[in-house]
Amino acid sequence: MTHRIAAGIMPLLDSAILVAAREKGFAEAEGLDLHLVREISWANIRDRMAVGHFDVAHMLAPMPIACNLGMTPLATPTLAPMALGLGGNAVTVSVALWQKMADAGSVGDLDPTTAGRALRATIAAVAKAGRPTLRFGVVHPHSGHNYELRYWLAASGIDPDRDVEIVILPPPLMADAIGAGRIDGYCAGEPWNTAAVAKGLGHIATVKAAIWKSSPEKVLGVAAPWAEANPGELAALLRALYRSAEWCAQPGNREELAGLLSCPHYLDCPVDWLLPALSGQIRSGAGTVQVDDFFLPQAKAATFPWKSHALWFYSQMVRWGQINATAENAAKALDTYRPDLYRSALKPLGVALPGANAKVEGALTSPTPVGSAGASLVLGPDGFFDGKVFDPDAIDAYLKSQQVRD
Amino acid sequence: MAAASLAILVIDENRIRAAIIEAGLREAGHERVTLIHDIAGIAARIAEIEPDVIVIDLENPNRDMLENMFQLSRVVKRPIAMFVDRSDASSIEAAVDAGVSAYVVDGLRKERVKPILDMAISRFRAFSRLAQELEEARSELQGRKVIDRAKGILMRSKGISEHEAYALLRKTAMNQNRKIADIAQSLVTAAGLLGEGDQP
């Protein structure tokens, strides 16, 4: 008997694991009819999950945490039993802003340190000349994009709330907003950075994979009541998605995957826009830069829902004044990510799993083999570009160290 | 009438549907209704209008931006919440099913807003019914044209009558459990590929 699962997705490259699970038969092999519905806003994903149109969804990794902390309208209990890959985002700036940054020393190698220094100098010059504050777009207040953009700015000596303005825009509209001069830059997922470069409207300044290596981006959000009522189907879905992630990670499948994603009912964009993120050959606007681990669908435990990732997102919600720091809130964030469900679902596959549910983020400076159940697994590097380390057991000290101002 | 004093903002890129909603609101006695089709400069418009109720279609890609704006007090003077948050489950489902959502300023009584949302839901439903009927009529007309072209191809290539050509299409459709228009479309496409255009 085939079980039908309805999943909401957004038109982004990292819907790949869900799309391939359906199109390449991994869901079917687990006895699932995975029905994918493309949505137009994260608010719609949330609302349609709340009313039961969707059982599961492609979600921004902090979104289920925000739901469980009651930070959004129509918040309903949501689980994150699996991640949908690591990395995949970039920071794009307008051609005019890039020119100023280049004049201030940015060399176009996507390095966050030099790009951040050049942006800081540019912002100082803009302020001195009395011109309007630079405006950056992100896709959602509770998104990896918002937090990594803010992290990069703050670590570069730029106050994200005072020195720039951050606005919310849907990713497919970012490139045109830069073209129309409504924003000066943005942080978004692929292919919406490559799109701006391809249209000659933007220049990629730096990438998520350099701001924080091996960092979380999207998760499978699951409606808690559905998960409770359908444990077998959920486990089957996680297995199907794991197999799909393996397929997505094969270099030989890149072109086929790009072709699938480019279809009108998924991303509806040129195939060319999808290949840079899959190969790591990023076209920045000044040339092609090879970025290691730009988007990881499977390697380095890319689908494992690390509790330390959940806690880091919570730490940024606190840092930017979105939620109060309390033990209760921290516990809710921690409980949102469910490696226990991931482990039990994948057990029959006999695949390599991490030995722990949390790790010190930034502890690994190079690819490191780690012990696990029989099979081999490599983790890292997983460092932040400023060299700071996030120890999930010392969250209070971390929060204190991150205060931008008193 | 107290309800008439509410300022209502309708954000809908579909001008026809927005006009239908506006007409409904005015019929219900609401005088202060503003329609916005283009999201550009919306923050300034919201500050100016100070709406009590905002009705928005779910096809609008800018809902995440709007919700963020509602949470920032420096853009909107009064906090705005999602109406369905304080509503019953059936209302929420009806609104999402119909493709509409509403936001209200904090403190507004549910009874004052519910009729507005109910009206928006019923008008959204009516609009999609209308759009669907229009689409069906259009595809029916298109189907009839394709069937005529397919009949012409069969008549010329097989030297049969119009009646026989139609019977052949119908029989094939029945055998393959498909629509006559689909069979006709396949034939027209195939004839085009084979360079046997249906032009005389």
- Report the C-alpha gap between A45 and A256 in whole angstroms: 27
- The predicted model gives A103-116 an average pLDDT of 95
Give residue B3's pLDDT.
Answer: 47
On chain B, the residues whose CB falls within 8 A of the CB of A48 are 96
Nearest CA to A211 among A362, A68, A94, A344? Answer: A362
Q: Domain extents for chain B?
A: 2-132, 135-193
Percentage of chain B beyond pLDDT 70 is 91
Residue A311 confidence (pLDDT): 98
> Is it the case that residue A184 has pLDDT exceeding 70?
yes
Helices (H), A212-253: 224-229, 231-249
Q: Judging by beta carbons within 10 Å of its beta carbon (0-12, 13-18, 19+), is residue B133 exposed, middle or buried?
A: exposed
User: Following CA atoms B128, B134, B137, B143 in sequence, which dihedral angle do they give, to the nearest 10 degrees?
Assistant: -90
Q: Which of B65, B85, B97 sits opposite A168 (nearest CB)?
A: B65
Q: What confidence score (pLDDT) does residue B84 get?
A: 61
pLDDT value of residue B200: 43
Structure tokens at A306: 């690390």
State whether A73 and B84 contact (CB < 8 Å): yes
> Angle at the Cα of B77 (from A68 to A170), degrees rounded to 5?
55
Q: What band does B1 get if pLDDT is binned at 50, 70 and 90?
A: very low
Rounded to a whole number, what is the distance in Å from the CA of A311 to chain B's nearest CA?
23
φ, ψ dihedrals at A380, nearest 5°? 80, 175
Per-residue model confidence (pLDDT) at position B93:
87
Taking an 8 Å cut-off on Cβ atoms, the answer to whether A51 and B64 are in contact is no
- What average pLDDT does chain A have? 95
What's the CATH class of domain B135-193? mainly alpha
Contacts B14 to A, Cβ<8 Å: none
| Cα gap A183→A93, rounded to integer Å | 9
Q: Is B14 on the interface with A (CB under 8 A)?
A: no
What distances in angstroms separate CA B71 from CA B53, B183, B193, one per listed residue?
A: 15, 55, 57
Report the C-alpha gap between A189 and A145 in whole angstroms: 8
pLDDT of residue B114 exceeding 90: no
Among A44, A53, A146, A182, the strongest candidate for a mutation testing the B interface, having the largest count of B CBs within 10 A, is A44
Judged by a CB distance cut-off of 8 A, whether residue A47 touches chain B is yes
Whole-number Å distance between alpha carbons of B87 and B78: 20
Mean pLDDT confidence for A253-266: 96
What does the pLDDT read at residue B165? Answer: 94
A contact test, residue of B14, B59, B65, B71 with most A CBs within 10 A: B65
pLDDT in tens, B128-148: 888 888 888 888 888 889 999
In angstroms, what CA-CA distances link B20 with B10, B25, B31, B93, B174? Answer: 11, 9, 15, 22, 42
Is A34 in contact with A289 (CB distance < 8 Å)? Answer: no
- The whole-number pLDDT of residue B43 equals 84
Whether B61 sits inside 8 A of A141 (CB atoms) is no
Going by C-alpha positions, the residue among B53, B28, B27, B56 that lies closest to residue B121 is: B56
Provide the pLDDT for residue A99: 97
* CA A297 – CA A16 distance, rounded (Å): 8
Residue A206, CA distances (Å) to A47, A86, A340 in order: 33, 16, 35
Alpha helices in A250-351 (DSSP H): 254-261, 275-279, 307-319, 327-336, 339-346
Contact A53 B101 (CB under 8 A): no
- CB contact A323 to B (< 8 Å): no
pLDDT-wise least confident of A45-59, A169-183, A325-339, B184-198: B184-198
Q: Give residue B35's pLDDT.
A: 95
- Looking at chain A, the number of H-run helices and the number of E-run strands are 18, 16
Token couple for A88: 């995949």
Write down the pLDDT at residue A371: 66
**Out of A41, A53, A141, whose CB is closest to B63?**
A41
pLDDT of residue B178: 85
CA distances from B179 to A213, B95, B182, B183 (A): 54, 34, 5, 7
Q: Which residue of A has its CA nearest to B41?
A: A182
Q: B101 to chain A, minimum CA–CA distance in Å?
A: 10
Residues of A in contact with B60 (CB under 8 A): 40-41
C-alpha atoms less than 13 angstroms from C-alpha of A245 in its C-beta half-sphere: 26
b/e A312-333 (16+ beta carbons within 10 angstroms → b): bbbbbbbbbebbeeeeebbebb
Residue percentage of chain A with pLDDT more than 70: 98
The domain limits of chain A are 3-85+216-270+301-308+325-342, 351-401
**How do residues A198-213 score in pLDDT, each as one tens digit?**
999 999 999 999 999 9
Name chain B contacts of A173, Cβ cutoff 8 Å.
61
Q: Which residues contact B89 (CB under 8 A, 6 or more apart)?
A: A51
**A361 DSSP assignment:** B
Averaged pLDDT of chain B: 85
Residue B156: what are its φ and ψ, rounded to 5°? -75, -45
Q: What is the average per-residue pLDDT within A301-330?
A: 97
Judged against a pLDDT cut of 60, whether residue B198 lies above it is answered with no
User: A132-160 b/e with 16+ CB inside 10 Å = b?
Assistant: eebbbbbbbbbbbbbbbbbbbbbbbebeb
Is A305 a residue whose pLDDT tops 90? yes
Q: Do B64 and A53 touch (CB under 8 A)?
A: no
Domains B2-132 and B135-193 share a fold: no
In this predicted structure, what is the pLDDT of residue A46?
Answer: 94
Q: How many CB atoms lie within 10 A of CB A396?
A: 11
> How many other CB atoms are found less than 10 A from the CB of residue A338?
23
Distance CA A223, CA A231 (A): 12
- What is the CATH number assigned to the segment(s) B2-132? 3.40.190
Query: Could you read off the pLDDT of B64-112 as tens digits, one per residue?
Result: 999 998 877 566 677 777 776 656 778 888 899 999 988 888 888 878 8
Q: Is-contact A145 A89, C-beta < 8 A?
A: yes
**What is the chain A residue with the closest CA to B60?**
A40
Cis peptide preceding A191, ω within 30 of 0 = yes
The predicted pLDDT at position A19 comes to 98
Residues of B in contact with A41 (CB under 8 A): 58, 60-64
Q: CB of A331 within 8 Å of any CB in chain B?
A: no
- Tell the burial category of B193 from Cβ atoms under 10 Å away from its Cβ (0-12, 13-18, 19+): exposed
- Please give the CATH superfamily to which domain A3-85+216-270+301-308+325-342 belongs: Periplasmic binding protein-like II (3.40.190.10)
What is this structure's pTM? 0.89
SS3 sequence of chain B: CHHHHCCEEEECCCHHHHHHHHHHHHHCCCCCEEEECCCCCHHHHHHHHCCCEEEEECCCCCHHHHHHHHHCCCCCCCCEEEHHHHCCHHHHHHHHHHCEEEEEECCCCHHHHHHHHHHHHHHHHHHHHHHHHHHHHHHHHHHHHHHHHHHHHHHHHHCCCHHHHHHHHHHHHHHHCCCHHHHHHHHHHHHHHCCCCCCC
